[in-house]
Chain A
Amino acid sequence: MRNVAVIGVGMAKWGELWGKSLRDIFVETALLAIEDAGLDRIDSMYVGCMSPGLFIGQEHLASLLPDYLGRNPVPTVRVESACSSGGLALRQGFIDVASGMSNIVLVGGVEKMTDVNGHEATYALGTAADQEYEGYHGLTFPGLYAMMAHAHMAKYGTTREQLAMVAVKNHDNGSKNPLAQFPFKITIEGVLGSVLVADPLRVLDCSPITDGAAAVILCPLDMAKRMKKPGVRIAGSGHATDTIALSSRRDITWIESTHLAAQKALAMAGRKIEDINLFEVHDCFTIAEIMATEALGIVKKGQGGKAVQEGLTSLRGRFPVNPSGGLKAKGHPVGATGVAQAVEVVKQLRGEAGARQVGGAKLGLTQNMGGTGGSSVVHIFEAE
């Protein structure tokens, strides 16, 4: 297996991009990554996108995206694993380069979510749950995560305020990210007073509906060194699945797929979780970040709420989590999220993260999750 480097990253402003279509968003972002990499060759592309069929009535992105990027006949794969589509696309691109099949791979993620109304978007996202055992009974993702939150609160004493602290921290970080959808700070009182979505989750506990894309360019590490590009290596990649229905899990306060994916990625990288300097995790809801920090092993089971309260996961804490603002403040265009996490970590390891820079960061980790944890992808990046 060859060592794989990230030699280019691209991301533009996220938000409600009423004036742009999916292809516009993807092409704009892919060109940024290509420009950043400083090369004019792509051997293959992997693009994470969860549900263009339901969001914009368009499938066959494998033809559309290289077409509008002016890159036909480059072989292109659209990768779908719900909200972990982007992370999984990165893993497929990594495997392609590591195996020697391709040298230069563009990994993208894109979602255009605002062409449909809120009900239709909720339905499209809901297809990531078990339709027969969850969706048809009226469950949506806020409802599923609300049950996980209630269970975590009952089992470990996690408080409503601790959930709010996750959102406050991520907005604080996001206020330093000009590409974020919501680059402003919020308060605990603001979260607690926001509109109730699914008890105990309020609207400021939830990641938003977002249009956006992200892209990275991968190549063999040797090639990156010859090109004298600021080097970031993908040191570890882990992927695991779990039952799609929450009701089939042994413990709904624990995300086993994230735990297993992290173990694999750490083993590949030859690292311990304590070695990692910063984390981009899948905070689709505030409770999800708390559970992710536990499943990754940053803190012990049940200690995720306490960790955020004590500042362990804040930007200047021992284990900074979501310096980009996370899904909460940066936005959550589902297929793009996993790739955007990689973009943030690469920027951090290059020392290009501006006001939200984690000082001296050498190792960063991304955790991207589908559904309620039915799939998880973890990557570890190391500055060369």
Chain B
Amino acid sequence: MSGIIGYGAYVPRNRIKVEEIAKVWGADAPSYKKGLMLEEKSVPSPDQDTITMAVEASKRALKRAGIDPKEIGAVYVGSESHPYAVKPSGTVLAEALGATPEVHTADFEFACKAGTEGMFVALSLVQAGAIKFGLAVGADTSQGAPGDALEYSAAAGAAAFIFGNAPLVAEALETYSYTTDTPDFWRREYQYYPQHGGRFTGDPAYFKHIMGAAEGIMAKAKMKPSDFQYVVFHQPNGKFPLRVGELLGFEKKQIEPGWLVPKLGNTYSGSSPLGLTATLDISKPGDMILIVSYGSGAGSDAFIFKVTKRIDEVRDLAPKTRSLLDANKNYLEYGAYAKYRGKIRKAD
């Protein structure tokens, strides 16, 4: 059997509160906090990007996997904020980890589900016997246009997973994907900020695809919500994952361990993968975990994992995700945030 042999998370230490953003735009902070169930979000430092965060998360995954990087046969980075439009992120990551040159590398882009796309392919290559180990990372330094609702949620973070056949931390029991042509969110080339379809991003987009994928994989695996200890959904805001969980018949206690968004924001390609790392951090051998991502455009990838006894051996080999969220925080004012995010630039 194949599955996860190591996992790692990375979250920048900078934060900005909803109140601080709302203050600048004259917006009603309580409305955003209640409406989107957001409190604060992570912000990358000026010298951080998708690649640096991918490296941090992957090193932690390697610590938990305990393997020689040279044995990694594939390195995939999923992001919508690759630093270069042309020139891969994956090559830099593979080089930094010491996995080059005998390695297949690719960058993925599919709005917020690019991370699980990489996971899907890396796992599949391991299952096919084409590679021994495969690394997949979901990482983003996502941008929301100034004053747009997205600015309150667009955050930064990365999660990395190494797939292999042994020693398994979590066995992959089932995969499933659900995809349609649904234009709910997009960014054209040369555009700096994405655009979105407002309420169209809800029912016909997020909810339709997550429910399609969740119901599809449970039917395929002949399982029901009560068969899972935990479930992780893509989290563009605090409300959507709780609502979709309720619609599917999950209880809040199944969602909560991976529900990071109120304190983290939406890390796009890192969103549901980071939720999975936080869930693995607290899981016990035998626990069943369902993860369903969502990427605008639109599609969802779903995985069912069964946690093995090895979780107890690897859990403490790298920082736990919740500890990254809660410790060593540095709160920014909007001015510094605007500079860090390139919203304002120093004159030449």
Which A residues contact B (CB, under 8 angstroms)? 16, 18-19, 114, 117-118, 193, 195-196
Contact = CB atoms under 8 A, between A and B. Distances in A.
Interface in B12-31: 28, 31
Contact of B31 (A16, A114, A118, A195): A195
A172 B6 CA distance: 54
Contacts of A118: 198-199
B285 interface: no
Contact of B204 (A18, A117, A195, A196): A18
A114 B35 contact: no
Contact of B200 (A18, A193, A195): A18
6 contacts: A16-B203, A18-B203, A114-B200, A118-B198, A195-B34, A195-B35
A117 B35 contact: no
B199 A16 contact: yes
Given A16-B203, A18-B203, A117 B31 contact: no
Contacts, number: 21
A367 to B, nearest CB: 29
Contacts of B197: 117
A114 B200 CA distance: 8
B34 A114 contact: no
A189 to B, nearest CB: 13
A219 B31 CA distance: 50
B199 A196 contact: no
B28 A114 contact: no
Residue of B35, B196, B199 contacting most chain A CB atoms (<10 Å): B199
Interface residues of B, number: 11
A331 to B, nearest CB: 14
Contacts of A16: 199-200, 203
A196 B29 CA distance: 10
Contacts of B34: 193, 195
A202 B86 CA distance: 47
B198 A196 contact: no
A195 B198 contact: no
A55 to B, nearest CB: 14
B28 A196 contact: yes
Interface residues of A: mostly helix, strand, loop or mixed?
loop
Interface of B: 28, 31, 34-35, 196-200, 203-204
Contacts of B35: 195
A117 B184 CA distance: 11
A56 to B, nearest CB: 14
A136 B35 CA distance: 29
Contacts of B31: 195-196
A195 B28 contact: yes
Nearest to A208: B199
Nearest to A117: B198
Given A16-B200, A114-B199, A118-B198, 13 more contacts: A16-B199, A16-B203, A18-B200, A18-B203, A19-B204, A117-B196, A117-B197, A117-B198, A118-B199, A193-B34, A195-B35, A196-B28, A196-B31
B237 to A, nearest CB: 14
Nearest to B32: A195
Contacts of A196: 28, 31
A32 B113 CA distance: 43
A19 B205 CA distance: 12
A18 B298 CA distance: 15
Nearest to A19: B204
B36 to A, nearest CB: 10
A18 B196 CA distance: 15
A114 B203 CA distance: 13
Contacts of B198: 117-118
Contacts of A117: 196-198
- Across the A-B interface, give the 6 residue pairs with the lowest CB-CB distance, nearest first: A195-B31, A117-B198, A18-B204, A196-B28, A118-B198, A195-B35
A278 to B, nearest CB: 32
A241 B94 CA distance: 71
A191 to B, nearest CB: 14
Contacts of A18: 200, 203-204
A284 to B, nearest CB: 19
A193 B28 CA distance: 13
Contacts of B196: 117
B107 to A, nearest CB: 30
B232 to A, nearest CB: 27
A339 B188 CA distance: 41
B137 to A, nearest CB: 32
A328 B31 CA distance: 20
B22 to A, nearest CB: 11
A195 B22 CA distance: 14
A193 B30 CA distance: 10
Residue of A18, A19, A196 contacting most chain B CB atoms (<10 Å): A18
Nearest to B198: A117
A113 to B, nearest CB: 11
A19 to B, nearest CB: 8
A291 B200 CA distance: 34
